[in-house]
Amino acid sequence: MIELRSDNAAGVAPDILAAVEAANTGSALAYGGDDLTAHLQDVVRSVFDHPSARAFPVTSGTAANSLALSAATPPWGAVLCHPTAHIVTSEAGATSLFGGGAVMQGVEGDHALIDPDRLRATLDSVRWGDPHESQPSVLSLTLPSDLGTLYRPEEVTALAAIARGSGLKVHLDGARIANAVAALGCSPADVTWRAGVDVLSLGATKNGALSAEAIVVFDDRIAEELVYRTKRAGHVTSKMRFQSAQLTAYLTDGLWLRLATTANRRMAALVAELEDLDDVRLTERVEVNMAFVELPPSAIEALAEVGLLCYRMSPTTVRLVTSWQTTEADIGGAADAVRKALALAPGV
Amino acid sequence: MIELRSDNAAGVAPDILAAVEAANTGSALAYGGDDLTAHLQDVVRSVFDHPSARAFPVTSGTAANSLALSAATPPWGAVLCHPTAHIVTSEAGATSLFGGGAVMQGVEGDHALIDPDRLRATLDSVRWGDPHESQPSVLSLTLPSDLGTLYRPEEVTALAAIARGSGLKVHLDGARIANAVAALGCSPADVTWRAGVDVLSLGATKNGALSAEAIVVFDDRIAEELVYRTKRAGHVTSKMRFQSAQLTAYLTDGLWLRLATTANRRMAALVAELEDLDDVRLTERVEVNMAFVELPPSAIEALAEVGLLCYRMSPTTVRLVTSWQTTEADIGGAADAVRKALALAPGV
Amino acid sequence: MIELRSDNAAGVAPDILAAVEAANTGSALAYGGDDLTAHLQDVVRSVFDHPSARAFPVTSGTAANSLALSAATPPWGAVLCHPTAHIVTSEAGATSLFGGGAVMQGVEGDHALIDPDRLRATLDSVRWGDPHESQPSVLSLTLPSDLGTLYRPEEVTALAAIARGSGLKVHLDGARIANAVAALGCSPADVTWRAGVDVLSLGATKNGALSAEAIVVFDDRIAEELVYRTKRAGHVTSKMRFQSAQLTAYLTDGLWLRLATTANRRMAALVAELEDLDDVRLTERVEVNMAFVELPPSAIEALAEVGLLCYRMSPTTVRLVTSWQTTEADIGGAADAVRKALALAPGV
Amino acid sequence: MIELRSDNAAGVAPDILAAVEAANTGSALAYGGDDLTAHLQDVVRSVFDHPSARAFPVTSGTAANSLALSAATPPWGAVLCHPTAHIVTSEAGATSLFGGGAVMQGVEGDHALIDPDRLRATLDSVRWGDPHESQPSVLSLTLPSDLGTLYRPEEVTALAAIARGSGLKVHLDGARIANAVAALGCSPADVTWRAGVDVLSLGATKNGALSAEAIVVFDDRIAEELVYRTKRAGHVTSKMRFQSAQLTAYLTDGLWLRLATTANRRMAALVAELEDLDDVRLTERVEVNMAFVELPPSAIEALAEVGLLCYRMSPTTVRLVTSWQTTEADIGGAADAVRKALALAPGV
C-alpha cells in the first residue's frame, strides 16, 4: 500500500532516531533541567536568528497551539483565525479549555488564507472595551494552511501589522512550517518574528520526529506564562532530554528543511502526473506536500483496492499528503493507482 | 557522579528503546489508530487480568493523574488524597484545571498513607447534596506513596470500600506502581481493580521508558470521557505507536517488574549500608526504591563534592532514589560518599 | 426623552415591586430554602403545565443561558446556535467559561432563525465520536430571536426533533419569551417542553422585574447539575425569596403576558406610523417589541436631539425597542421625532 | 420563633427598600451605564477615603469573593487563607472555577485568624518560580472571621505586609465587614487599602440589603480585569441601578454601621445573659454578631421546641447570629429559650 493519508503516518527519520539513542547516556536532571534542553535553546536562537527566543518542547501539535494561545489571550479574549484552521476544526476546543473559556472567531479568505481586508473589517467592527463582547486578542495564522497553501513573508507581515495595530498578539500554527519555509525559500525569521509573530507552534512530528513539537516564543511575557502553563497541563515531560534531542537534531544542519523538501518535491512530482489525467482536478493550488483532488466517486471507492491510501474529504474529493518518507517509487505507484482507479470506475 | 536524585534522571531501558526502533517500520494510522496501540489493549488486559480494561498512552504522569481524575469527578467535586500526594504538591493545580475547578482535600495518615478512620470521619462530616460544599467524588491513593511507603492490597481494598460506600470513584496514582507490585509480590489486579480501583495512572517513564505513561481504566464511563478529554488536552500523540511500543515492551514478559526489582534491591542494599552508620537516620521506612535520610547539615553540604547527587528535602534530610539503571557499584560508591561526607563534616 | 433603546432600560412593574415589599416580612431560610422559592416551583409547574419542572432563580440572562448550557453539554461539546445569538455576540464567552471550554458553532438561517435544512446538514457532517472534533451536544434557539422574529411552535418542534435525533439537548434562550408567547398566542408549554425543549432561560427583568430571571428545567439530569453549578458560579442569592417573589408575581394571573402584550402593541402602533413614512424602511419583519429601521444617516444623527433614544446598529440603521412601560404617548412622540429628524436631515 | 440561624435570614432594611423604590423612576441605561452606578463610585471613594477605588455591584458573596480572587491570581496561583474560610468551606470551588484552576491553601492560626509566623513559614517554604508547585499569589483574609473574631487594623497591616513582601496581592472577604468596622471603631480605610488590601468583598445583603454586594477595588489592574470577568460570569445585572441604589443607601450617612452596631449590640446583650448560665460555654470569643455556644446535647435538641432557631455545628455546639433586625425582645426571648431548653434537658 502506498501511504498518502497523512505525514503523521510516516515513521521517524534515521537522524532523529539516532539522536534519541545518543541521548540515552548517563543520567540527567528531569523536567528540562538537562544539557540537551539548554542546548536546544541555542539552536533555536541560531536557526531563528533571534537573541532570546525560547523553545518549550511538547508532544503534540494540539498542545503547542492551545498552550501558546492560552498564554497570549486573556480568558475573555477571542482568537481570530481562518474557519478552516486546525484549532477550530480538529482540536476539540483545546484552546477554549486552556484559554479559560476564550473563544475562536473565523475570518474568511480564499485558499484558506485570511484576507487582510476582512481582518481589518473584523477589527473595525469590534466594540473595544465592551465586556459583553469577546475581545479579539490574538491572530492565529496557519502556515501552510490546512489546504496546503502559503502566505508569503510579506503577507504574514501585513496581517500581523493589522493585528498588532489593534493590540493583538500574533500566533503562527506551524505544524508543517518546515514545508512552508522550504517552499518559500525564506529564512525562518522572515515568516515569524521579523514578520510580527510572537509565538510559533513549530511542528516536527509530521516531518520525521518521534514525538516532539516545540512552542517557540519571541515574546518574554508569553514565555514566562508558558513555564507554568506547560507544566500544569502535563506537557513538561520528565525525560525532556529525549524530546530536546529530537528537536535539536531536526533543526541542526538544515535537516528539517531537507526532509520537508523531499516531501514537497514528491508532491510536485505527483501533481505533474495527475495534471495530465482526464477526470482529475486539483481543487486547490499545491504549494507544499498536500493536494486536494477531485475524482469520480467510483474512482475514489476503488483507490484502496488498487493500493493507494488517502483521506476522503467528500464523496468526490480526496486529500493526498506526502512525507519525508515518500519515495519516487511511491509517486509512480500512486499515479498508477489513480489511473487504475479511473479505469475501474464505471461510466467514466 | 552517582545519580540518586530521582528515577526520572535515568535513561531508557535497552529493551524499550529496541521496541521503539522496531516500531519504526512502514506507516501507521495516527492518533492511536495503529496496530501497536490496539495490541497494547490486549497486553494491558492480560497483565491486569481484566476483560475490558483500556489503556490511554500519555507522555507525563501529571497528564495521567489529572486527566484520570477529571474524568472521575464533576467540576463541583473534591478529590480526597493524602496531603503529601504529588497531585497536591507537585502538579501546579493540573487536577483543578482539567477538572473544571474541582478541588483537592487532604486526608491525613501516618507514613504518607491515608488512615481509614480519618477517611471515614471525613466522609461522615460531608453535607452530602449541599451545593455550598465541594462534594467528595474521588479517592486518590498513591502507591507507593510519595515517601516510598506501601499500602498492602487489603489496605487498598479497605480504603476503596469506604470510598465506594459513599459513591466515590477510586484512582490510584501509580507513577511507581511497578516498584510497589514488585515489592508486594502481588498481582497487578490485586492492588487495582480487584481492590476497587476504577482508574490507574501507570507510570513507565521513571522505570525505563523514554516518554510514556498510561491511564489504565477499569470503568467504562471514565474510559468514554477520556477519549475526548485526552485529545482536547493535547495528550493524544499523533505517532502514538511509539508510545504504545514502549508500553507494550514494558509490560511484556515482566520487564516492568524486573526493572523495578533491580531498583528496589539496590535501595535495600544501600539501606543496609546506611543503617550501620552513626549520625545517619532513616526518617521513613523503606519499602521500594526511595529513602529519606537524616544527616548532619554539614554532611549534606558535602555530598555533592564527594560524588553523590541527591535531593535535599530540608537542611537535615535528603531523599535518595535508585532506578533500574543503578548498579551495585553505584551503591557501594553512594555508601562511600556518605561516609566521606560524614567524615568531612566538622564537629560530628 | 422617549426611551426606545432597550426594554432593559425600563423600570420595575408596580405589581412586582409590591411583591418584593410583601416578601419583606419575618425571616426566612437563605439560599432558596424559603417558602416563596418553594411556591415558585408550583407556579412554574402550573404555568408550564409540567409535573416536575424546576425553576432556578438567577439575576442575569447571561447567567441563565450559560449555566443552563453548561449543564447540558460536556466540555468537549459544541452548542449550535444562530450566529446572531446573544450567547455568541454578547456574553463574552460565558458559555465557554462555565462549559469548561465547550464551544459555540453557528447555524445560519434567514431572519435570525435557524434553517432546519442547515441544521440537518450540520449534523450530517459531524464526525460523531471523533475526539478531534467538538461534538454537537446542545441546540440553542432564541425566541424571539435577536432580531425580534419568531419561531412558531411547530418550527421549534421540528428543529428540536432534528437535534434530538442526533442526541442533542435543546435549550431555549427566552430572554423575551413573554413577548413571544404573547405574540404567538400559544401556551408556554407549546414552545418549550412539548416542542422538545429541555431547558429554558426565562427572562423577567426586561419585562418588568427588578433583577430576576429563571432557569426553567424540564430534564432531571440538567436540574441535578444546576443545583451545584448555580451555587459555585455565585448565582444562588442568599435572600432568594426576593427573586422568587418577583418571579411568582410575574408568572401569576398572566402578568408576564399582559406586560409583554403592552410592549408588543406599542411597537405595532409605532410600526404602523413608520410604514407611512418615506425614507424609512423596516429591515426585518416586526413580530414582538423590537424593530430595525433604516433611515438616512443624517436623520439618525438628529434623533437624539429631537428626543428619541435608540441604538444605532450601523450608520443607516437603528434598533427601536418598546417595553411594558412604553405609553401610547411615547409612541406618538417617537413617530413625531422620526418625522422631525427626517425633516431636519439635509438633502433628503 | 426567634431567628438566630443567620443574618442571611433577615429582611431588607426600610431605608434600603425605600432606595430601591426611589430608583424606580424613568428609564436608565442598562448594565451599569446609569447615574446611580456612577454615583456609587463617588460614595465608595468617599467612604473609603480613596481617590480611585471602584465598586462592582454583584448579587452574592460567593460571586464577590471568587471574581475578586480570579482577578488577583493567575491560574497557576494559590490563594492562601485560613482553613475555616468561607471560600474553602462553603463556595463549592467557585474560586477554582473562576480562577481557571487556581487552588486554595490553608494557613492555620488560632481563633480562625491566620498566624503571621505561619504565614511567613508558608511563604518561606515555597519553591518560587518552580512550575511544579502552585505559586502563592493572593492572601485572602476574612474579617470578621467565620468564627466571628477580628483582626485589628495593625494585624491586617502586618499580614498584608508579609504577603506583599513575597509579591502576593491581598483580598479581604468582608461579607460582614460592617460588623467588623463597627466593632473596631476604625475607619473603613484602616482595615482595607491603608492596611495593604487590594480588593475587598463588601457584603451588604446579610446586613440589610435586598440582594447586593460590592467588589471594592483599590488596584487598577484588578479593576480592569473585573470589567470583563464580572460580565462573562453573568454578574453584571442589566438593571444595575437597583443594586447600586441599595449599596449607595447602605453606605450613606453611616447606615451600614448603624445596622451592624445594632446586630453587634444584640449579640453582646445575649452573651451577657448566657455567661450567667451553668452548662453554657462560649467556645470562641464574641466580637461581632456571632456566637458559638456549647450546650448539653439534649438542650440543643430542645431549642427549636422552645422557640429558638439556630444552626447546630456539632452535637454539642450551636451557632447564634443576630442581625440588624434582631430586637431587644428577641434577645430576652432567646435567653429564656436557652434557659427553658436547659431545664428540659434530662440529667443536667
pLDDT for residue C143: 98
The domain defined by B13-253 folds into: Aspartate Aminotransferase; domain 2 (3.40.640)
Residue D345 has pLDDT above 80, yes or no: no
pLDDT range class, residue A345, cuts 50, 70, 90: confident
Q: What 3-state class would DSSP assign to A97?
A: helix
Phi, psi (deg, nearest 5) at residue D81:
-155, 165
Residue of higher predicted confidence among B26 and D164: D164
Cis status, amide bond into D296, omega within 30 of 0? no
Q: Between B and C, how many residue pairs show a Cβ–Cβ distance under 8 A? A: 43
In angstroms, the CA B180 to CA B47 distance is 15
Helix spans in chain A (H)? 14-23, 35-47, 61-70, 86-89, 94-98, 116-124, 153-165, 177-184, 220-232, 241-251, 255-274, 297-303, 328-344
Residue A19 has pLDDT above 80, yes or no: yes
Residue D344 has pLDDT above 60, yes or no: yes
Least CB–CB distance from A237: residue in B24, B59, B93: B59
Q: Give the residue range(s) of CATH 3.40.640.10 domains in chain B.
A: 13-253
Q: Give the residue range(s) of CATH 3.90.1150.10 domains in chain C.
A: 2-7+257-344
* Model pTM above 0.95: yes
pLDDT single digits (tens) D56-67: 999 999 999 999
Question: C172: closest CA among C136, C146, C140?
Answer: C140
- Residue C347: Cβ-neighbour burial (10 angstroms; 0-12, 13-18, 19+): exposed
pLDDT for residue B348: 47
pLDDT for residue B96: 97
Phi, psi (deg, nearest 5) at residue A328:
-60, -35
Q: Give the number of other CB atoms < 10 A from CB of residue A121.
A: 11
- Enter the CATH code of domain C2-7+257-344: 3.90.1150.10
* Radius of gyration over every alpha carbon of chain B, rounded to an integer in angstroms: 21
State the DSSP string of C172-228: EEETTHHHHHHHHT--GGGGTGGGT-SEEEE--GGGT-SS-EEEEE--HHHHHHHHH
Mean pLDDT of D314-330: 97
Min Cα–Cα distance to chain C from B225, Å: 9
pLDDT for residue A166: 98
Residue B347 has pLDDT above 80, yes or no: no
Q: Give the residue range(s) of CATH 3.40.640.10 domains in chain C.
A: 13-255
Using a CB-CB cut-off of 8 Å, the residues of chain B touching A25 are 11
Mean pLDDT of A19-46: 95
In the block, cell 411556591 appears at C39
pLDDT for residue A344: 87
Residues 59-78 of A with CB under 8 A from D: 74-76
D127 part of contact set with chain A, CB < 8 Å: no
Q: Which CATH number fits domain D13-255: 3.40.430.10, 3.40.640.10, 1.10.3720.10, 3.40.50.2300?
A: 3.40.640.10
Residue A43 has pLDDT above 70, yes or no: yes
C275-304 exposure pattern, b = at least 16 Cβ within 10 A, e = fewer: eeeeebeeebebbbbbbbbbbbeebbebbe
Query: Chunked in runs of 10, what are the mean pLDDT values of chain C (348 residues)?
Result: 95 98 93 96 98 98 98 98 97 96 97 98 97 97 98 98 98 98 98 98 97 97 98 97 98 98 98 94 97 96 94 95 98 97 77
pLDDT for residue D296: 95
Joined together, the cell numbers standing for residue B280 give 545517619
pLDDT for residue C347: 56
Mean pLDDT of D3-24: 97
Mean pLDDT is lowest, of B44-53, B336-345, C9-18, C112-121, for B336-345
For A209, the closest chain B residue by CA position comes to B239
Mean pLDDT of A260-284: 96
Min Cα–Cα distance to chain C from A334, Å: 27
Least CB–CB distance from B28: residue in A9, A97, A206: A9
Q: What percent of chain B has pLDDT over 90?
A: 97
* Radius of gyration over every alpha carbon of chain A, rounded to an integer in angstroms: 21
pLDDT for residue B344: 86
Which of C134, C135, C146, C314 is best to mutate for the A interface (most A CBs within 10 A)? Answer: C134
Least CB–CB distance from D92: residue in B76, B90, B91: B76
Q: What 3-state class would DSSP assign to D102?
A: coil
Joined together, the cell numbers standing for residue A249 give 537534531
The domain defined by B2-7+256-344 folds into: Aspartate Aminotransferase, domain 1 (3.90.1150)
The alpha carbon of residue A255 and the mean position of all alpha carbons in its chain are separated, in whole angstroms, by 17
Contact C94 A101 (CB under 8 A): yes
In angstroms, the CA B199 to CA A79 distance is 35
Which of C81, C97, C104, C108 is best to mutate for the A interface (most A CBs within 10 A)? Answer: C97
In angstroms, the CA D282 to CA D296 distance is 13
Q: Strands (DSSP E) along chain D, which ranges?
A: 2-3, 54-58, 77-81, 103-106, 135-142, 169-174, 199-202, 213-217, 281-282, 290-294, 308-309, 311-314, 317-321
Q: What percent of chain D has pLDDT over 70?
A: 99
Contact C237 D6 (CB under 8 A): no
Contact A234 B24 (CB under 8 A): no
In angstroms, the CA B153 to CA B143 distance is 10
State the DSSP string of C308-347: EE-EEEETTEEEEE--TT--HHHHHHHHHHHHHHHHHSTT
Which of D56, D67, D69, D232 is best to mutate for the A interface (most A CBs within 10 A)? Answer: D232
D103 part of contact set with chain B, CB < 8 Å: yes
Using a CB-CB cut-off of 8 Å, the residues of chain B touching C132 are 31, 231
Instruction: Report which residue type is found at C267.
Output: M
Q: Are B151 and B199 in contact (CB under 8 A)?
A: no
Residue D301 has pLDDT above 70, yes or no: yes
Q: For A14-255, which CATH class?
A: alpha beta
Q: Are A279 and A271 in contact (CB under 8 A)?
A: no
In angstroms, the CA D259 to CA D250 distance is 9
Contact A231 D131 (CB under 8 A): yes
Min Cα–Cα distance to chain D from A25, Å: 26
Chains contacting B (3 or more CB pairs within 8 Å): A, C, D
pLDDT range class, residue D300, cuts 50, 70, 90: very high
A58 part of contact set with chain B, CB < 8 Å: yes
Mean pLDDT of A18-25: 96
pLDDT single digits (tens) B174-214: 999 999 999 999 999 999 999 999 999 999 999 999 999 99
Mean pLDDT of B80-101: 97
pLDDT single digits (tens) B292-312: 999 999 999 999 899 999 999
Mean pLDDT of chain A: 96
pLDDT for residue D348: 47
pLDDT range class, residue B62, cuts 50, 70, 90: very high
A104 part of contact set with chain B, CB < 8 Å: no
- Residue D298: Cβ-neighbour burial (10 angstroms; 0-12, 13-18, 19+): middle
Q: What is the CA angle D266-D268-D271, rounded to 5? A: 110
Q: Give the residue range(s) of CATH 3.90.1150.10 domains in chain D.
A: 2-7+256-344
B229 part of contact set with chain C, CB < 8 Å: yes
Residue A108 has pLDDT above 80, yes or no: yes
A307 part of contact set with chain B, CB < 8 Å: no
What is the end-to-end Cα distance of chain C in Å, rounded?
A: 25
State the DSSP string of D282-303: ESS---SSEEEEE--HHHHHHH
Backbone conformation region of residue B134, classed left if phi is above 0, alpha if psi is from -120 to 50, else beta: beta
In angstroms, the CA A291 to CA A282 distance is 7
In the block, cell 468551606 appears at D89
Give the β-pairing of C135-142 and C169-174: parallel
Residue A253 has pLDDT above 50, yes or no: yes
In angstroms, the CA C40 to CA C213 distance is 12
